[in-house]
């Protein structure tokens, strides 16, 4: 890390405001470097914690941060001490992660009308959009003159064809309640699909990619020539793949059945499906590292959880091969996708007939950057590409504010 980026106006501050946390990263669009980053956790609780890392090394502050305003002011102070604060001459813009952007396909500059629109979308993302709004309002109050952009998790998927975006529901009901497939993790899918094209030495417009974003939340997408044509998350981030604590796909009739037979209320069903299902529901653990350890020890429940997880994944890979017609690459990203060779091998096992295979040595080798793990000469490339949502938010923000691209590839940290 270095502070030299302050000289030019090329820094973007990326803010990701959760309900009780605020993550931030300062990204240099000239070098691709990240001069500073950190997180404020337990906002609103008796004892919050700010963990910062910057040019002068790590800083930790343990104190009460009553709200996001206090948290962002504290971030401003630690950045100020590095000459990188909210008033730093090099700061061009602030980019905010916003989970739900409705049918917006592009990032947008923040103004009063946009804030009202994000507010109107709160019923569709009740846990996320309010926190995102708080982050934007706080940053605006601190630097009203600085351009700010909202980069939406849903935007990359908003161009999906109607056939993929529509549920086969009564149209009047679906339209009245804005029920459609929105998709999430879009910033990651956009970034990873583009980086995959770069890894293959081809233009994004030339390649068809299946992206498997496997973190605590997990989603797959089918990307044709740089454009998303299908994705596994839908109206909410509950649909699709098996996740850490979320069920993913299930028969919707289970919901009224539980209401009638188990006497559950809507909030209990919601809690069951979002917090007590997925890997955790199947075996009691939601961390793939622990599950893999248990599988190695012959644990039956962990083995079943692993098998359900990779079976669902393989099903989506097959489905997206059909959706795309021709697939150039299958790519793994996020915590599980980047780190679990066992999941990658098991998910793609038996897909040789589709031209998809994993080279055991390449898959098992230690590696951090974007890399191929398919045997040389494979019809379909299989790759691991680390995701970087902050870099993508910074890139989109910078482009929106300046009209310039900046560097898109990971630079030195």
Phi/psi of residue 363, nearest 5 degrees = -65, -40
Given candidates 287, 303, 355, 402, which one binds ligand AMP under the rule CB under 6 A? 287
Phi, psi of 397 (to 5 degrees): -65, -50
Q: Is 289 in the site for ligand AMP (CB under 6 A)?
A: yes
Is the separation of the CB atoms in 76 and 52 below 8 Å? no
Give the nearer residue to ligand AMP in terms of CB position, either 131 or 342.
342
For residues 390 and 187, give the distance between their C-alpha atoms in angstroms, rounded to a whole number: 9
At which residue do the structure tokens 């793939």 appear?
288
- Closest contact distance (angstroms) between CB of 291 and ligand AMP is 8
Closest alpha carbon to 97 in 152, 52, 54:
152
Segment contacting ligand AMP (CB under 6 A): 18-26, 46-54, 179-187, 286-294? 286-294
Please select the residue that binds ligand AMP; options are 33, 335, 386, 406, rule is CB under 6 A.
Answer: 335
Q: Is 32 in the site for ligand AMP (CB under 6 A)?
A: no
User: How many chain residues are in contact with ligand AMP, going by CB under 6 A?
Assistant: 11
Taking the C-alpha atoms of residue 336 and residue 352, their distance in angstroms, rounded to an integer, is: 23
**Burial class of residue 61 in the structure, from the number of CB atoms within 10 Å of its CB (0-12 exposed, 13-18 middle, 19+ buried):** middle
- 80, 111, 145, 153: which one is catalytic? 153
Q: Rg of the chain's alpha carbons, rounded to an integer?
A: 22
- What contacts 177, CB < 8 A, 6 or more positions away? none
Length of the chain in residues, anyone?
A: 413
Return the number of the residue (82 or 285) whose C-beta is nearest ligand AMP: 285
Residues 6+ apart with CB under 8 A from 144: none
Q: Which is nearer to ligand AMP, 77 or 290 (CB)?
A: 290
DSSP 248-259: -S--TTHHHHHH
Select 125 or 342, whichever has its Cβ closest to ligand AMP: 342
Find the binding residues for ligand AMP in span 229-258 (CB under 6 A): 244
Question: Quick check: 215 binds ligand AMP (CB under 6 A)?
Answer: yes
Q: Is 153 a catalytic residue?
A: yes
* Least separation in angstroms between CB 285 and ligand AMP: 9
Q: Are 160 and 230 in contact (CB under 8 A)?
A: yes
Nearer to ligand AMP, 138 or 188 (CB): 188
A 10 A CB-CB count for 343 gives: 21
Show the binding pattern over residues 146-185: x = contacts ligand AMP (CB under 6 A), - = does not: ----------------------------------------
Segment lying near ligand AMP (by CB under 6 A), choices 55-63, 142-150, 329-337, 351-359? 329-337
Binder to ligand AMP among 148, 193, 221, 339 (CB under 6 A)?
339
| Helices and strands in the chain, H and E counts | 15, 14
Q: Among residues 86 and 288, whose Cβ is nearest to ligand AMP?
A: 288
In contact, 225 and 208? CB cutoff 8 Å: yes
Q: Which residue is nearest to ligand AMP (CB)?
A: 335
Select from 38-46, 91-99, 152-160, 282-290 the region that touches ligand AMP (CB under 6 A).
282-290
- Looking only at the bridges linking them, the beta strands covering 329-333 and 381-384 are parallel
**Which member of 220, 334, 351, 358 binds ligand AMP (CB under 6 A)?**
334
- Render 170-214 in DSSP notation, one character per residue: -HHHHHHTT-S---S-HHHHHHHHHHHHHHTTS-GGG-EEEEEEE
Interacting residue with ligand AMP among 288, 347, 351, 382 (CB under 6 A): 288
Closest approach of ligand AMP to the CB of residue 376, in Å: 26
Q: Which is nearer to ligand AMP, 237 or 335 (CB)?
A: 335
Report in angstroms how near the CB of residue 369 gets to ligand AMP at its nearest.
Answer: 16
- Cβ-in-10-Å burial (0-12, 13-18, 19+) of 222 comes to buried
| Residue 6 vs 340, nearer CB to ligand AMP | 340
* Cβ contact 258:244 at 8 Å: no
Binding site for ligand AMP (CB under 6 A): 215-216, 244, 287-289, 334-336, 339-340
Question: Which residue numbers are catalytic?
Answer: 153
């Amino acid at each position: 890390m270095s502070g030299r980026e302050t000289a030019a106006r090329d820094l973007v501050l990326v803010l990701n405001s959760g309900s009780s946390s605020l993550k931030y990263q300062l990204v240099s669009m000239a070098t691709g470097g990240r001069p500073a980053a950190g997180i404020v956790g337990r906002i609103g609780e008796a004892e919050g914690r700010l963990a910062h890392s910057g040019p002068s090394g790590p800083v930790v502050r343990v104190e009460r941060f009553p709200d996001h305003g206090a948290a962002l002011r504290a971030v401003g102070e630690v950045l100020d001490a590095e000459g990188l604060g909210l008033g730093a001459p090099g700061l061009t813009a602030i980019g905010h992660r916003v989970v739900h952007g409705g049918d917006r396909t592009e990032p947008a500059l923040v103004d009063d009308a946009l804030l009202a629109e994000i507010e109107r979308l709160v019923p569709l993302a009740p846990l996320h959009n309010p926190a995102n709004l708080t982050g934007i309002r706080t940053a605006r109050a601190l630097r009203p003159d600085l351009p700010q952009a909202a980069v939406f998790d849903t935007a990359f998927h908003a161009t999906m064809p109607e056939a993929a975006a529509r549920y086969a529901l009564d149209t009047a009901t679906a339209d009245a309640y804005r029920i459609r497939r929105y998709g999430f993790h879009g910033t990651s899918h956009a970034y990873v699909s583009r980086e995959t094209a770069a890894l293959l030495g081809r233009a994004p417009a030339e390649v068809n990619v299946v992206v498997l974003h496997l973190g605590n939340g997990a989603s797959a997408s089918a990307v044709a020539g740089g454009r998303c044509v299908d994705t596994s998350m839908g109206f909410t981030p509950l649909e699709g793949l098996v996740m850490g604590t979320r069920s993913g796909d299930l028969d919707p009739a289970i919901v009224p059945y539980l209401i009638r037979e188990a006497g559950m209320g809507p909030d209990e069903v919601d809690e069951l499906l979002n917090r007590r299902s997925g890997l955790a529901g199947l075996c009691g653990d939601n961390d793939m590292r622990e599950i893999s350890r248990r599988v190695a020890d012959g644990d039956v429940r962990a083995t079943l959880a692993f098998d359900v997880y990779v079976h669902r994944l393989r099903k989506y890979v097959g489905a997206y091969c059909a959706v795309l017609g021709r697939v150039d690459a299958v790519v793994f990203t996020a915590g599980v996708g980047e780190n679990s060779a066992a999941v990658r091998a098991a998910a793609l096992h038996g897909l040789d007939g589709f031209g998809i295979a994993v080279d055991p040595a390449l898959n098992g080798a230690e590696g951090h950057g974007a890399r191929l793990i398919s045997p040389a000469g494979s019809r379909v490339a299989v790759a691991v590409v680390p995701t970087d949502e902050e870099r993508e938010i910074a890139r989109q923000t910078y482009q929106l504010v300046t009209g310039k691209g900046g560097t898109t590839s990971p630079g030195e940290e």
